[in-house]
Amino acid sequence: EEETTKLQAEVDAMHAQFKTAVTQNRAIAPESMEGQWMTAQQGHEQGLVDELTGATLDEFVAELLAVRF
């Protein structure tokens, strides 16, 4: 039980940090971010995702690295 409490405190702290970062950088109301999940398309429509590329994670990272270096 003590470990569960500690883990939940860490999750809550990360959630608060994430919400702060998102609401500072996006036109999203904090109350609209309460643990719901959504598809990439829905995130795009809500302004949480900049672009849907259709690329795999490996492909996208490789593209980012190619652009930066």
Comparing CA positions, the residue from 47, 46, 64 lying closest to residue 55 is 64
- pLDDT at residue 12 in the model: 92
**pTM (2 decimals)?**
0.59
Helix (H) or strand (E) holding 34: none
The CA distance from 7 to 15, in Å, is 12
- pLDDT at residue 6 in the model: 95
Distances (CA, A) of 2 to 6, 8, 11, 14, 15: 6, 10, 14, 19, 20
The CA distance from 14 to 23, in Å, is 14
Residue scoring higher pLDDT (53 or 8): 8
12-50 pLDDT, tens digit per residue, is 999 899 889 988 988 888 777 777 888 999 989 988 889
